[in-house]
Amino acid sequence: MKSMQTRRPALFSGIREFFFAEQAPYGIALVRMFLPAVALVPMIRRFGRVRELFSTDGAPTQLFELFGQGTPLPILPPSFAVALYGIMIFALICGVFGFRTRLAFLIGAPLYTYFNLLDAVSTMTKYSVITSHVLLILAFSECHLVWSVDAVLKRWKDGRETSAIPPRVPVWPARLIQILFCFVYFGAAITKIQTQAFFSGEQLRYWMLSNWNYANPIGELMATSTPLLLISGYITVVWEISFPFLAWRPIGRYFALGVGMLFHFITWLSLGLWIFPLICLSCYLAFLMERDIVAIRRFVHRLRLPTSLLGLPRFAIARAIEMRPVAIPASMLWLALATLVAIGAAEADYRIDLYGVRSNNGMMPLKTLDREVALAMINNSRPLREKDKFFSFDIGSMLVGGQLANRLTEYGYGDTIIAQCNINPPHEDLWIEVAIEDSKARIFDSSGQFVTRDSLWANFVYQTGSKMAPGDYWMILKSGGKEISRRPFKLTGDPGSLPPMAPMLTN
Amino acid sequence: MRLKRWASVLFVTCYLLSLTWGTAAHALKFGLCGNTLSYFVVWDMFCGWAAYDNRTHIVGEDAKGNYYEVREPWGAFTPFGNVDRVNYDVSNNLIARHINHVISHTSHPEIDRVYVVQEIWPKQFNVPAHLWSYNFHEPMEKLSYFHLKSICTANGSAIELYPDWFNRQTLLTIADNPRLQQASREAKPYYNTFFDPAANNIQNRFQATSDSNGLITN
């Protein structure tokens, strides 16, 4: 009974300490500087397309429509939409520099979410969702207390002596971002566990060969090595599940965050993702606690790097703001600038003339299409070629997780030859044959097997025995009575080197 | 100050509960259907990818039988690389609006029909030439398949709809089975419009005034 009484307050005090310990908000301030800056990259890229993506003069598709919930969000006329978009960009830039930070995020976060919700097809992604979460948390945090224009203005107002000690605030906003990432990774692991063919590498392979993101030459190279994908898949899931259990351990956090950085770097190389990794790495900055910043500062100081230069922009902006008439509060200045940006954005949209109506003295014409080309597209009901049902055909001698781990062209007597074909889903139940042909096109071995529609690969295993003479051979894959692919191999050595077969006993 | 602390506790609690709900519902596949907000708390970044790549082509036809490429002449928006926006419309929510948008913002003779066509090819043909020769040891004979997905009016309203190539292919793989074909031929869809089980309820039987036998003939 006594232990229960003592344990319960200890548990609550642990939670209280975890969320409400007071620290200088350096980590969350770094998130404030980096995350909106990264989130702005795709949004600024869409500025010239606001009319098309987010206004009544375009073709927006709300996320609610994808869930069958209609179009509850108001879609604005183009000039108003562009003006609001301009305000969003201005608000997020102010968030980066920390000028009227709370106001900036209270306006910027809902507008960012609104515009993402309006274009579910080409703007809303999971990185937009993560950004919306973090912008919301930033709006209620005290991220403006350090390394911001607001902090500089406050310091000048209060006097330098009082502000030499960094302000300390409850750490819960940083904790929420940290916990968000635990959920993100844990949820992603659940998705992978539930995804058929993730752990055999097929799904990753097809993802890496999809040209839906930016260029990914390393991914295309990796896609041809299934065992590598298989191993990567396992490492990823183990790391994603273990992240919540390691992220707050003294040593474990270095492993969790280090692997996380490596993982996101690899997604950039292999999947052609740019913004997603940068958003995640920006949020990792929330894991930097006060003591980490002190250690980093000491290290940087030892290197004698001119870190004071980093503060120049915010001091310059603060000086410019201080030049306003004393009667005008900084918030009024913020709102006046936002209005100016909104008007400027609407004017810019007018001048951009996206649909080319003014610059072409009328609407632009549709491009004509050659009749034969058009009819070939419309009336084409060609059945799938047999060879297009197969992704690849290879021969090797070793399997890892059911997948061919090596490719060989030369075998000795006693070796195992494994022929493997990978099949593109969806496919019907197939009868697949593999034949061995010698250099004179004589087939001396052929075997087949059923491959059901749920199978993604089939293996054929051969033992090189004394039946085969040294020489050149072909391994031929056939399906539907047609040759799909063939691989050459050479058999070398002396058939007499094989151990004699054990005498067969019959009863 | 105390109020601020309680507000923080409330915010933290609500936030953690929403994240927990999303993850639990996603893991158990429960309570997420038709809920837009679930998109904000479910982390299903890896949903699987198809073995075939596809692009959408939209072809307009006027009354004289001339064909037009229904594509933004001002340049299609490519959100994540070099693929046009309309290709990311996996759920077919955009296509009608996109057709209407392009046709209403361009000059052309009156368009009678618009054909939405899928172009499909196996993804191994996305491998660059140098990797192809190293891995596949045979000539790269890429063949695109075109599949008519729908026929629409100039404002994007569908006149005829067909299953997309992936669904059609899946259906074909199942229909390939003669036993299933036979079973589907023998099956007779049946919906009883003469007998209403609710009217069979004893209470209804005595209380109903217009149809005390529980028989409805419409």
Judged by a CB distance cut-off of 8 A, whether residue B94 touches chain A is: yes
Q: Across the interface, do A377 and B135 touch by the CB < 8 Å criterion?
A: no
> How confident is residue B48, by pLDDT bands cut at 50, 70 and 90?
low
* Among the partner residues A122, A192, A209, nearest to B127 by beta-carbon distance: A209
The model carries a pTM of 0.90
- Domains defined for chain A, CATH in brackets: 17-346 (no CATH), 389-493 (2.60.40.2550)
Q: From the CA of A298, how many Å to the nearest CA of chain B?
A: 33
pLDDT score, position A57: 96
Using alpha carbons, select from B52, B163, B171, B91 the residue that is nearest to residue A425.
B52
Q: Across the interface, do A224 and B35 touch by the CB < 8 Å criterion?
A: no
Q: Across the interface, do B81 and A272 touch by the CB < 8 Å criterion?
A: yes
pLDDT score, position A500: 65
Task: Please tell me the total number of residues recorded for chain A in this structure.
Answer: 507
| CA dist A372 → A377, A380, B55, B66, B67 (Å) | 9, 11, 19, 11, 10
Question: A416-423 and B158-161 as β-strands: parallel, antiparallel, unpaired?
Answer: unpaired
Whether residue A116 is predicted with pLDDT greater than 90 in this model: the reply is yes
Place of tokens 């406050």: A154
B70 contact residues in A (CB cutoff 8 A): 366
> How confident is residue A164, by pLDDT bands cut at 50, 70 and 90?
low
Which residues in chain B (9-68) have CB-CB distances under 8 A to chain A? Answer: 11-12, 15-16, 19-20, 22-23, 26-27, 34-36, 38-53, 57, 59-61, 65-68
pLDDT score, position A371: 95
B97 contact residues in A (CB cutoff 8 A): 59-61
H/E run at residue A169: strand A169-170
Whether residue A40 is predicted with pLDDT greater than 60 in this model: the reply is yes
pLDDT score, position B197: 66
Cβ distance A222 to A229 under 8 Å? yes
The full DSSP string for B25-75 is HHHHT-S-TT-GGGGGT---------SEEEEEEEEEEETTS-EEE-S-TT-
Cβ distance B174 to A430 under 8 Å? no
Cβ distance A25 to A291 under 8 Å? no
The torsion defined by the Cα of A9, A15, A17 and A23, in degrees rounded to 10, comes to: -170
**ipTM value:** 0.89
By the 10 Å C-beta count (0-12 exposed, 13-18 middle, 19+ buried), A242 is classed as middle
pLDDT score, position A375: 95
What mean pLDDT is reported for chain B? 87
Q: Across the interface, do A64 and B82 touch by the CB < 8 Å criterion?
A: no
* Among the partner residues B5, B65, B105, nearest to A363 by beta-carbon distance: B105
Q: From the CA of A152, how many Å to the nearest CA of chain B?
A: 24
Judged by a CB distance cut-off of 8 A, whether residue B186 touches chain A is: no
- Tokens describing residue A95: 């968030």
A371 contact residues in B (CB cutoff 8 A): 65-67
Show Cβ contacts of residue B157 under 8 Å, excluding neighbours closer than 6 positions.
Answer: B96
